[in-house]
A and B are shown apart, each in its own frame.
Chain A
Amino acid sequence: MTDPVPIYMLVIVGAIMVGAYRLIYGRAARLVTPDMSGSSTFHAQPRHHARLAAALTGLTGALIYIAGMSLRGPAPGLAADALWLAILLIVCCGPIALAIRNVRPNFAARSHIERMAETGLMLLAFVALLTTVGIVASLLFEATLFFRDVSVFEFLFGTHWSPQTPIRAGGAGQSGVFGAVPVFAGTFLITLIAMAVAGPVGLMVAIYLSEYASPQTRAIAKPAIEVLAGIPTVVYGFFALISVGPAIQEFADVFGANVAVQSALAAGLVMGVMIIPLISSLSDDVIRAVPQKLRDGSAALGATQSETLIRVVFRSALPGIIGAFLLAISRAVGETMIVVMAAGWAANLTANPFDAVTTVTVQIVALLTGDQVFDSPRTLAAFALGLVLFIITLLLNFAALAVVNRYRRGFE
């Protein structure tokens, strides 16, 4: 950064806060003289007075800092910055003077500072709400702009997706064609393949590790499988590209079929492996939460262990397992890097897993990387896709949470 003044100003605000703290602490400590019983006549301790003073000056300083930053142009010159500094120093005298006046026995400094702290913590919690509002607002805003050019109906039900602006201006479909059905279909196909791998494998891993495996096996296998969850998705994408894709290619070659390295199958299989630990650890939790007396009752009636597991444990854990599956689907739909690297960019409307397909996330990346003009339908289409993605994952998460909560209530 070429302009160091804002950083200096921040340092000055910090220095004023430290100064206020030490000034007030010293003053209060001198005035607070313990009486015979060892307790002071003051309502609050020196550090509470000092913290309140530092917080008030800090807030004032921050306000002036923000005001200065927003009023200040790109190169305001020395005079303007000097004025800014002067205002900061003068105005910060206010809270310090107030704090000096308040160093007296009956001033409840602790209550004040604690109320301020609580308000501060509350504001931090509202950052979450602000983020959601930000996501919804920005997606809706840009998507509305997009739907001015392209009708919602065409976007949701059109079967031709080709967003590249044609070279010849004025031709038909000058801004590309935005029928997103092939994109949705590709997402669905890959999610289906991923769940076909991760669903049974993840569930069986959870059942085996929680019911059959010895503690030693569990102690090794469970962390090993959870390593899969810690690997960045870009690594899975590369793995699909250099290992799984070519392996599928060779396998298809044996049967005389010609398959590209990028295929729905390669991306789906690798995504399935990525999701295994998500399903297995969530299912593991719910399977372990099933009361032991249900298992004992089943065993007492002569059921084998697998019969107990399938007919009693699985059935009582079913809502939790459904919740886990829904979360896994939401994860698969929103996964980006694996499909960007291994599924392909061309929008084919096909159900053949050996073909390259494209997904919502791949198209968002395709539309937004490279040079872009912000208001072209091409970039705005990415936000429309993002909105669809957000709504789908939101619904899946809500459904998952609802199912899991209901299940928890059932056992309590």
Chain B
Amino acid sequence: MSGLDLDFDLGITPTAAVRMRKRHAAERRFRTYGRAAVMFAIAALVWLLVAIIVTGASAFTQHWVTIDLTVEAKSQSVPNDRLRLAKGLALAFDVPSDDETRAELLDIVSASAATAQLNARNGDDEITLTIPASNIIDQYLKGHIDTDLPADQRKISDRQIQWVERLQAEGRIKRRFNSALFANPDSRDPERAGLASAIIGSALIVLIASALALPVGVGAAIYLDSFAPRTGWGGRLTRVLEVNINNLAAVPSIVFGLLGLAVFINFFGLQRSIPLVGGLVLALRMFPTIVIASRSALLAVPDSLTDSALSLGASRMQAVFNHRVPLAAPGILTGSIIGMAQALGATAPLLMIGMVAFVTSMPASPMDPATALPVQIYLWSGSADAAWAERTSAAIISLLVILMLINGLAIFLRERLQRRRKL
């Protein structure tokens, strides 16, 4: 008897004990899979955010160069500001002014910004220019260019590095907040490109979309919740409407873009790439989301409230609008704000209606060509240059911050309104 273990004493055979251990091991494994799945999802989120922030953080600053130039007046031999600038730079760095050197010199500052300043002073002059460094110099100073590569494989030449080091030694290069990123419209030069027109375009689109989709969506939800017939032919029609709205919510957003292209642009002849059409398309996209969110908010209000209002002689309309809708308002509001956030991130439908145009002016009205923030991200992501990659990431950070604020507002309003209702 002494050779037997405890399990046997308890009536468990050795084979059963082995089986039990296996089952418990399976249980532990299963739990580990679960934990691993949660870890995977959270790790993916963290990787995404870190990747975007690491690439994008440096775009919020920009190097500026202050440089003293002696420039010639415009003449037959020096016909334009670019040449004036190049000659002035050659003098400043004490290098011969041949074609190759001039090209390299023009590549160290934002030539378009510099010529704009030179254009205003059209004489023989001593000028102190404070201008953004070119994207090559900016990227070099931010450490994004591998200087170990041979000179012909990198964007910055050895001479340019020498010039920059000289400027740095003289304390003439400063790193500043990149206000151009938020103040300027799009541009071909990364150092002058900004998100302002895209942000205005997005704001116009979301405003138009919400102004249309909110009243219509909430109205439709109220009708389906409180007034739609439930029996007979009318009831059948109601069910068709409900199934239809659920399906519409799951239709890919690009299909809404095709609808917009065929109906608003091709049939009604509206202009392409204007916020009005973008707003109309996204209103249709938002509509089912708002109806579904509002319906579930209305459904959560107890029927007893409407019933007691009716029993006191209120009409159906009065019972619904004075008692049912106010109680559902926090939920309707939250759903609507989340719908707005989705519209702000929508890209594919806007591509369909031509909002990918290169827009260098600020849209002044919903009828001016514009682009939207997510579309701007898509456009910038197309170029492989490090200067564009960091700006794309910075645009994404801006978009995510705006979305976070909107969602935070939704949560805040819901909590606040709900607390007030409870009193």
A residues at B contact (CB < 8 Å): 1, 110-111, 114, 117-118, 120-122, 124-129, 131-132, 134-135, 138-139, 141-142, 200-205, 207-209, 212-213, 221, 224-225, 227-228, 230-239, 241-243, 273, 276-277, 280, 304-307, 309-310, 327, 330-331, 333-337, 340-341, 361, 364-365, 368-369, 374, 382-383, 386, 389-390, 393-394, 397-398, 401
Contact = CB atoms under 8 A, between A and B. Distances in A.
Contact of B365 (A1, A125, A221, A401): A1
Contacts of B244: 128-129, 132
A374 to B, nearest CB: 6
Nearest to A127: B216
B351 A368 contact: yes
Contacts of A139: 255, 258-259, 262
Contacts of A397: 246-247, 250
A389 B255 contact: yes
Given A128-B244, A239-B51, A390-B251, A224 B345 contact: no
Nearest to A304: B27
A234 B248 contact: no
A334 B223 contact: no
27 contacts: A1-B365, A120-B219, A121-B219, A128-B220, A128-B291, A129-B240, A129-B244, A131-B248, A134-B263, A135-B255, A135-B258, A135-B259, A231-B400, A234-B396, A235-B377, A237-B378, A242-B51, A242-B389, A273-B48, A307-B26, A327-B250, A334-B254, A336-B253, A336-B348, A364-B352, A368-B352, A390-B252
A398 to B, nearest CB: 7
B381 A241 contact: yes
Contacts of B23: 304, 307
Given A118-B227, A128-B287, A397-B246, A224 B42 contact: yes
Contacts of A221: 38, 42
B219 to A, nearest CB: 4
B200 interface: no
A276 B41 contact: yes
A383 B352 CA distance: 11
A371 B243 CA distance: 38
A114 B38 CA distance: 52
Contacts of B33: 204
Contact of B216 (A122, A124, A335, A336): A124
B324 to A, nearest CB: 13
A386 B255 contact: yes
B252 A393 contact: yes
A306 B392 contact: no
B348 A337 contact: yes
A142 B262 contact: yes
Nearest to B240: A129
Given A128-B287, A231-B48, A276-B41, A135 B251 contact: yes
A304 B29 CA distance: 12
A110 B321 CA distance: 14
B113 interface: no
B34 A208 contact: yes
A327 B389 CA distance: 34
B41 A205 contact: yes
A368 B255 CA distance: 12
A239 B48 contact: yes
A209 B38 CA distance: 8
Contacts of B375: 234
B55 interface: yes
Contact of A243 (B51, B243, B252, B396): B51
Contacts of A327: 250
